[in-house]
Structure 1
Amino acid sequence: MTQHPERPVVFIGGPFKGAVDPATGILSHELRGRYRRLIGLYEENGWEVLNAHREEGWGQSMVPAATCTARDFYWMETCDLFVAFPGNPASPGTHVEIGWASAMGRPMILLLEEEGGHAALVTGLGEVAPTTRYLTYRPHPDFLQSLVQATADLGSRMGTKWPPLAVLANVR
């Protein structure tokens, strides 16, 4: 596994193309907020963040299928941690990325929506991919502290030297 102890790399994934509002051509304010909070948490703590949503202007600068597939596969090969919303309804692209992460042995934190309805092969993945952790996503400031703890626990389990995360005032 790739490890970048001084500046670890997190790949943040989740529903994108199917979540873009056809009227505006961008993700809703609520979805952008989810991703911005996660990006901010890791970046403010010195991590490098890979994220297609931001990279593609929240939907305004979509790249062709071959480009995003090659890019996301490369990101998965080089990241230290994969954090993703599988989606509800399910995001086909994110489910492919979850498969890549498990096949490559990448540590991952899957963020499940409170209403449930997630695929059994996602919620049961921890049985065959022991570096998988689950958190229920809540749009509440305390959620970020749960993500900090899950990241630390997973890093410790993996024997990594990731710098500690802290929830800073500007990423709430």
Structure 2
Amino acid sequence: MKILLGTPITGILNDKSKKRCLERKKFICEFINVLRSQGHEVFCAIEIEKFGEKIAPGEICTQRDFEAMKKCDVYVAFPNDSYGCAVELGWASAFGKPIFLAINNAFGVKTPLYEGLGMIDTAQIKNYSSQLDFPQLDDKELMESLNEFLNNI
């Protein structure tokens, strides 16, 4: 299955705390590896942009990510404080892509439209609690929900 993974980019890269940046990068890399070990193809912009080493300008990344959305089978997002994920959620909804939206209770739901996505047949919202931006990979409830979602597509 082709998964487009949405994560914050600018907020991660602009954070002055190297420790938080490394924690976020570690989660994203490990999460991608888990998905790939299950046989999924994963497109993730922050990975493609080498976690800030090769930032693409808007005219390139927007078209690249839009094309990736058209080709993917499912959109999985940890939107946290990301405006980019909000744009991608719009694209995914418009294309009728199945959406798995993981919301960190520390950030909350940024807009009623996120909450409303659960009313769309192809979307599932799963809340988790973490002082970090992302959950721990041993968050069995979240990972089981994601795997069940992916298996039912």
TM-score (norm 2): 0.84
Counterpart selection for 2:113 from 111, 121, 139: 121
d(CA) in 1 for partners of 2:140 and 2:59?
33
Task: Indicate the percent of aligned positions where both proteins have the same amino acid.
Answer: 32
- 5+ unaligned residues in a row in structure 2: which ranges? none
Q: Does 1:28 align with 2:21?
A: yes
* Residues 144 and 77 of structure 1: CA distance in aligned 2, closer, same or farther (over 3 Å): farther
| Corresponding residue of 2:43 | 50
Structure 1 Cα separation of the partners of residues 16 and 149 of structure 2: 41
Match among 69, 84, 96 for residue 93 of structure 1: 84
Whether the aligned pair in 2 keeps the contact of 1:135 and 1:147 (CA below 8 Å) is: no
Is the Cα–Cα contact under 8 Å of residues 4 and 74 in structure 2 kept in the other structure?
yes
Q: Write the distance in 2 (CA, Å) between the matches of 1:22 and 1:152.
A: 33
| Deviation at residue 154 of structure 1 after TM alignment | 4.9
Normalising by structure 1, what TM-score? 0.75
1:75 CA drift (Å): 0.7
CA distance in 2, matches of 1:149, 1:117: 19
Secondary structure, counterpart of 2:139 in structure 1: helix
The Cα RMSD (Å) is: 2.2
Is residue 35–residue 42 contact of structure 2 (8 Å, CA) maintained in 1? yes
Task: Write out per-residue CA displacement over residues 24-82 of structure 1, whole angstroms, 9 at most, x where no aligned residue.
Answer: 89x80121122112201110111111011111011111011011000110111011111
Distance 1:42 1:146, change over 3 A: same
Aligned length: 146
- Work out which of the two has the higher radius of gyration on C-alpha atoms and give 1 or 2: 1
Structure 1 residues without counterparts, runs of 5 or longer: 1-7, 159-172
